[in-house]
Amino acid sequence: MKTVKFISGFCVVKLIEENFISLNPSSGESMLPTIQPQNDWLLIWNFLRSYSFLDNLMIGDVVVAMKPTSSNTRVCKRILAKEGDIILLDPASKSKLSTVAYYLNNLEKDNCFEHKFIRVPKGHVWLGGDNTEFSVDSRNYGFVPIGLIEGKVIYHINFNKSFYKFEKLVNSYKDI
């Protein structure tokens, strides 16, 4: 009887973790200073792969997504643009997209990178890390299909040895 209760309890916890809310450790420096590379845990509101939830994502929200170039790797990044938004490509970027010929209003000038704009296609987002120097993000792997977004980070918890800090992750990007 105890085994059945244990298995049932495990299944309920796994169901909640995969479909509603999960707690995961952070790693890497790409989201500094918002999220620390060590001792930070992320409380993630997981989506039930429903577009009604995904439609409510806003520019500036921090999300967890499967990395487009590696299906077994998850990334934590900020949404910088949604479908239909226009991105100005960084001329110093090593992105393959820097060579794509998407120019708006014929802004191409002597074939240099300074006026390359690209529109985020339908069903995709553009993700970026807060610490751009150490972030591998959409500048490297391009647009991210919205279906790869697993959830939105709603809290981060810092478990330092001297203190514990439970902080809501607020979207500080404002529409002007």
Q: What is the chain's Cα-based Rg?
A: 19
10 Å Cβ neighbour count for 27? 12
**Catalytic residue list contains 30:** yes
Residue 145, H or E segment: strand 144-145
The rounded distance, in Å, linking the Cα atoms of 74 and 150 is 9
**Catalytic residue list contains 174:** no
Assign 99 to helix, strand or coil.
helix
- Asked whether 35 and 135 are in contact (CB, 8 A), the reply is no
Q: Which of 5, 8, 14, 30 is catalytic?
A: 30
Q: Which of 67, 77, 116, 152 is catalytic?
A: 77
Q: Which of 120, 147, 174, 145 is nearest to 50 (CA)?
A: 147
Residue type at position 81: A
Catalytic residues: 30, 77
